[in-house]
Structure 1
Amino acid sequence: MLACARFTRQCAGVTHASTLAPRPVTEPGTQARTHLSTAAALGGALGLFAAARLLGVAALALTAWATDRHWPALLGRSWDSQWYLGIAAHGYGRALHFQPGVVHSDLAFFPLYPALVRAVTALSPLSGGAAGLLVSWLAAAVAACGLYTLGARLHGRAVGTALVLLWGLLPHSIVLSMAYTEPVLTAFAAWALYAVLDGRWVWAGTLAALAGLARPNGFAVAAAVLVAAAYEICRARGKVVHRVWTGALLAPSGWAAYVLWVGHRKGDLLGGYFEVQRLWGSRFDFGRGSLLLAKHLLLHGDRFVFPMTMMIVAAATVLYALLLADRAPLPLLVYTGVLLLIALGGSGFFESKPRFLLPAFPLLLPLARALVRTARARPWHATVVVGALAGLSFGYGAYLVVIANTPL
Structure 2
Amino acid sequence: MRAAHRAFPGPEGEVATWRRALVGGTSAWLLSRLLVTTVAVATQWGATGSLLGGKPFVDLLSRWDSSHFAAIARDGYAPDSTDVAFFPGYPMIARAVASVLALWSADPVPVALAAVAAVGGVVATVLTWRVVEVGSGVRAAEVATVLFVFGPYAVFLHASYAESCFAAAALGAWYAATRERWLAAGLLSALAGTVRPNGLFLLAALGVLYVVRRRAAGRRIVAWPAVGLATGVLGWTGYTTYLWALTGRWDAWTRAQEFGWGRRTQAPWDTFRDTLQNVLHHRLLSARPQFLLDVVFAALLVAAVVYFLVRRSWAEAVFVGLTAVSLMTSSTYVSLARNTLPLFPVWAALGSASTRHTTGRRVALVVLVVGVALCVANTHQFTLGRWAD
Contact kept, 8 Å, 2:90 with 2:162, in 1: the verdict is yes
Matched, 1:313 2:270: no
1:324 deviation in Å? 2.5
Pairing partner for 1:111 from 88, 92, 95? 88
Kindly tell me: are residues 299 and 175 of structure 1, through their superposed partners in 2, closer, same or farther at Cα, counting changes over 3 Å?
A: closer
Unaligned runs of 5+ in 2: none
Deviates more, 1:319-328 or 1:254-263: 319-328
What is the SS of the residue equivalent to 1:257? Answer: helix
Contact kept, 8 Å, 1:20 with 1:153, in 2: the verdict is no
1:287 deviation in Å? 2.4
1:337, 1:384 → 2: CA distance? 25
Contact kept, 8 Å, 2:21 with 2:129, in 1: the verdict is no
1:247 deviation in Å? 1.7
Pairing partner for 2:266 from 278, 285, 289? 285
Q: What letter matches 2:335 in structure 1?
A: S
Aligned twin of 1:255: 236
Aligned pairs for 1:237-256 (under 5 A) are 238=220, 241-248=223-230, 250-256=231-237
Deviates more, 1:163-172 or 1:41-50: 41-50
Count of residue pairs the alignment pairs up: 373
Matched, 1:123 2:100: yes
Matched, 1:168 2:152: no
Give the number of the structure whose alpha-carbon radius of gyration is greater: 1
Contact kept, 8 Å, 1:193 with 1:331, in 2: the verdict is no
Pairing partner for 1:340 from 324, 327, 333? 324
Deviates more, 1:332-341 or 1:171-180: 332-341
Alignment TM-score, normalising by the size of structure 1? 0.81
Kindly tell me: are residues 122 and 289 of structure 1, through their superposed partners in 2, closer, same or farther at Cα, counting changes over 3 Å?
A: farther
Q: What letter matches 1:56 in structure 2?
A: V
Unaligned runs of 5+ in 1: 1-16, 96-103
1:120, 1:131 → 2: CA distance? 6
Deviates more, 1:69-78 or 1:153-162: 69-78
Aligned twin of 2:351: 368
Q: Deviations over 1:107-135 (max 9, x none)?
A: 11111111111111111235211211110
Aligned twin of 1:275: 255
Kindly tell me: are residues 34 and 258 of structure 1, through their superposed partners in 2, closer, same or farther at Cα, counting changes over 3 Å?
A: closer
1:187 deviation in Å? 0.6
Contact kept, 8 Å, 1:136 with 1:180, in 2: the verdict is yes
2:269, 2:379 → 1: CA distance? 31
What is the SS of the residue equivalent to 1:399? Answer: helix
1:232 deviation in Å? 5.9
Contact kept, 8 Å, 1:229 with 1:245, in 2: the verdict is no
1:211, 1:115 → 2: CA distance? 13
Aligned twin of 1:4: none
Kindly tell me: are residues 229 and 371 of structure 1, through their superposed partners in 2, closer, same or farther at Cα, counting changes over 3 Å?
A: closer
1:239, 1:344 → 2: CA distance? 32
1:145, 1:188 → 2: CA distance? 12
Percent of aligned pairs with the same amino acid = 24
Contact kept, 8 Å, 1:305 with 1:400, in 2: the verdict is no
1:342 deviation in Å? 1.5
Q: What letter matches 1:307 in structure 2?
A: L
Kindly tell me: are residues 39 and 105 of structure 1, through their superposed partners in 2, closer, same or farther at Cα, counting changes over 3 Å?
A: same
1:372, 1:75 → 2: CA distance? 37
Q: What letter matches 2:85 in structure 1?
A: A
